[in-house]
Amino acid sequence: MIHVKSEREIDLMREPCRIVRDTLAFVGSRIKAGMTTKEVDELVDRYIRSEGAYPSCLGYAGYPASACVSVNEMVVHGIPDDETVLRDGDIVSVDLCAYKNGYHGDGCRTFCIGEVAPEVKQLVKVTEECFFKAIEGLRAGTPLYDIGYRVQSYAESFGYGVIRAYTGHGIGKEMHEDPSVPNFGRPGTGVRLKAGTVLCIEPMIAMGTYRVRLLDDGWGAVTQDGKPAAHYENTLVIREDGVEILTL
């Protein structure tokens, strides 16, 4: 069941979402070649806690870190460790959640480390653009799967693969609420979204196949062809006349 938020609840969500935004910007200003993914996780953990929030990925379904740090062919849920060192030319998705005021915020950016190959840079750029395509015209009354249709048609026009195994989601008191928000779909189908619905829209786009393989750690998911994937996510509110993005 989709829980539509009151204005009061949306106001309470502003703070965790602002912290997500600021943490992502902070990581973007610090991340560089030579760092381990564990060091990225420490930056995230310290920043979120310094804001009086809790990094709610930590302990979620047993997840062992404060951020998901996914390098190159890792699509999502990369568990930070002290062996994975960021190198010039890598792309790194940093996905994190902050919990404060009784609510979660959730966001992700894919960062380029040093000089990244032009075709990989384009993947990162198009993945971000997929998000903005998805919210074009999005407002109260829009059928849910129009979101995925927009992401998919844009991504596939570049020959990219749209990840099927993971989706966006509702968010609020729980990190994952209804509805599930796929990045693919048929236009004009799905529930008509109501004003006050809070969603995480998160295109996960691969340079090649959309098929993924789960690592033995039970979390990390890599593309089956080993080609890179990018991820971009914001938390937003559906309004009568558009959307209000809480993590930008």
200 lies in the site for ligand MF3, by CB under 6 A = yes
Smallest CA-to-CA distance from 41 within 57, 21, 53 is with 57
Among 10, 97, 144, 230, binds ligand MF3 (CB under 6 A): 97
Determine the residue with CB nearest ligand MF3: 63
Give the per-residue contact string, 52-81, with ligand MF3 (x = CB under 6 A; - = no). Answer: -----x--xx-x----x--------x----
> What CA–CA distances, in Å, run from 108 to 5, 44, 193, 203, 248?
22, 12, 23, 10, 11
* Helix ranges restricted to H, 33-83: 37-50
Token pair for 122:
């384009």
**116 vs 203, which CB is nearer to Co ion?**
203
Beta-carbon neighbour count of residue 82 at 10 Å?
A: 10
C-beta of residue 214 within 8 angstroms of C-beta of residue 111:
no
Which is nearer to Co ion, 200 or 221 (by Cβ)? 200
Smaller CB distance to ligand MF3: residue 55 or 116?
Answer: 55
Q: How many CA atoms lie within 13 A of 12 on its CB side?
A: 14
Minimum distance between the CB of residue 89 and ligand MF3, rounded to whole angstroms?
Answer: 25
The reply to whether 41 sits near ligand MF3 by the rule CB under 6 A is no
Number of residues that bind ligand MF3 (CB under 6 A): 11
Token pair, residue 155, equals 């991504």
Name the residue nearer to ligand MF3 (CB basis): 140 or 215.
Answer: 215
* Residue 60 interaction partner, one of Co ion, ligand MF3, none, beta carbon < 5-8 Å per kind: ligand MF3
**Do residues 181 and 168 make contact, with C-beta atoms less than 8 angstroms apart?**
yes
Interface mask toward ligand MF3 for 157-176; x: CB under 6 A: --------------------
Least Cβ distance, residue 58 to ligand MF3 (angstroms)? 8
Query: What is the C-alpha to C-alpha distance for residues 235 and 109, in angstroms, rounded to an integer?
Result: 12
Q: How far apart are CA 42 and CA 89, in angstroms?
A: 22
Q: Are 121 and 129 in contact (CB under 8 A)?
A: no
CB of 238 to Co ion, least distance (A): 16
Contact residues: ligand MF3, CB under 6 A: 57, 60-61, 63, 68, 77, 95, 97, 106, 200, 202
